[in-house]
Amino acid sequence: MHKEFEAIEFTSFLRQKKMTEKILRTLALVLENMAEGVNVSNGKGIILFTNPAFDALYGYNQGELKGCHLSDLTTYSSEENMQLFEQISRIVDKNRVWSGELRCRKKDGTEFDAETRVNGVEIGSKRCLISVQSDITERKRREKALLESETKHRIVSENTCDWIFWMSPERKFLYMSPSCKRISGYDLDEFLAEPDLLYRIIHPDDKPILFRQQEESARHIHTDEMEFRIIRKDGTVRWIGHVCQAVFDSNGNFLGKHASNRDITKRRLAKNQVKKMSDLLSCSHPIS
């Protein structure tokens, strides 16, 4: 009975060892085919292992980075690298993951930004660091360009004299410039809180004309222009020069309406005054 037990125990050990080797081969295959660069370093920051993606990321041949220090791959000073390594070590020693962006240098001297995640693992009886990295230089360039574009757009929009807004197909405001308050007396929050406010402040005599034209021009590509009156928050009346155009994306999907409102009260009053004078002169008779 004892021998039978030993045979069963030995068979179980062989099966377990075989399974472990299978798992190790699978893990090795995963590491070799990962898109992200992976490196394993000891507690002092000396590189013990790199996968092919990590070598390619830095422009080194396979195995060339083994024995190098992690600080050799960054653009920081010795003091900065020391502080960074201590910070990462403190975090992973608490069984937490350090994540951040590092400024790195390839073998040929090219600098790039790497998104990095580092965690600690016990290999044998020694504490090691596993780092996973990916090049985010292009992403950061696009983000910077987008931010600069958005900043320029915001500065132009927020400092324009016209009251600009973009309304979705569901008649919700996607954007409205701060000049809405200067022209209408109502601020952005009030328009967002009451979606129908834009139409409520239109002069009652002008509402039928405006609604009819908007119904006829729905989803049209061409630009619509018209003039109408609004009643400001303080009760005064202002004439508005309104320009509106449908917005479509690159696939032709309707994204709503982009409009610009300009206060033309002075121009309209001057025009009316000229008309009155013209009418008065045309009705007058010469003195004989």
Q: What is the CATH classification number for the domain harbouring 68?
A: 3.30.450.20
- Residue 161 lies inside a defined structural domain of this protein: yes
CA 169, 174, 175, 180 dihedral sign is positive
Query: How confident is the model over 95-142, as pLDDT tens digits?
Result: 889 999 999 999 999 999 999 999 988 877 788 899 999 999 999 998
Domain housing 118 = 32-139
Q: Which residues pair with 100 in a beta bridge?
A: 116
Contact 116, 99 (CB under 8 A): yes
- In the predicted model, what is the mean pLDDT of the chain? 84
In a domain, residue 8? The reply is no
Residue 206 shares a structural domain with residue 258: yes
Mean pLDDT for 135-161 is 82
The pLDDT assigned to 172 comes to 86
- Average pLDDT (77-94) is 91
Q: What is the DSSP letter of 111?
A: E
Share of the chain above pLDDT 70, in %: 86
Rounded to whole angstroms, the Cα distance separating 135 from 192 reads: 41
Amino acid letter, residue 187: D
Is residue 13 domain-resident? Answer: no
User: Which residue did the predictor score with more confidence, 122 or 21?
Assistant: 122
State the Cα–Cα distance between residues 113 and 78, nearest whole angstrom. 19
Above 60 in pLDDT, residue 177? yes
Highest average pLDDT, of 21-30, 132-141, 222-231, comes from: 132-141
Residue 240 lies in a domain: yes
Residue 250 pLDDT grade (very low, low, confident, very high; cuts 50, 70, 90): confident
- Up-side HSE of residue 199: CA atoms within 13 Å toward CB? 14
Q: Would you say residue 248 lies in a domain?
A: yes
Query: What pLDDT shows up at residue 14?
Result: 55
**Cα(243)–Cα(262) distance, rounded to whole angstroms?**
9
SS3 47: strand
Tallying the residues shown for the chain, one arrives at 288
Q: How far apart are CA 37 and CA 52, in angstroms?
A: 7
Q: Do residues 42 and 125 share a domain?
A: yes
> By C-alpha distance, which of 201, 192, 203 is closest to 168?
192
CB atoms within 10 A of CB 168: 14
The answer to whether 70 touches 104, Cβ cutoff 8 Å, is no
- CA dist 41 and 64 (Å) reads 14
Stretch 237-265: mean pLDDT? 89
Q: What percent of the chain has pLDDT over 90?
A: 41
Specify the higher pLDDT residue, 144 or 73: 73
Q: Do 239 and 263 contact (CB within 8 A), yes or no?
A: yes
Residue 233 has pLDDT above 60, yes or no: yes
Let me know if residue 197 belongs to a domain. yes
Q: How many domains does the chain have?
A: 2
Claim to verify: residue 90 and residue 167 sit in the same structural domain: no
Please determine, for residue 143, whether its predicted confidence score (pLDDT) is greater than 60.
yes
194-211 pLDDT per residue, tens: 878 988 999 999 988 777
Specify the pLDDT at position 288.
Answer: 47
pLDDT at 106: 96
If asked whether residues 38 and 91 sit together in one domain, one would say yes
Give the β-pairing of 37-42 and 47-50: antiparallel
Using alpha carbons, list the distances in angstroms from residue 271 to 184, 205, 258, 284: 22, 19, 28, 20
12 falls within a domain:
no
- Residue 1 in domain: no
Residue whose structure tokens are 């937490």 = 96
pLDDT category, 215, cuts 50, 70, 90? low
Which pLDDT belongs to residue 15?
64
The pTM assigned to this predicted structure is 0.54
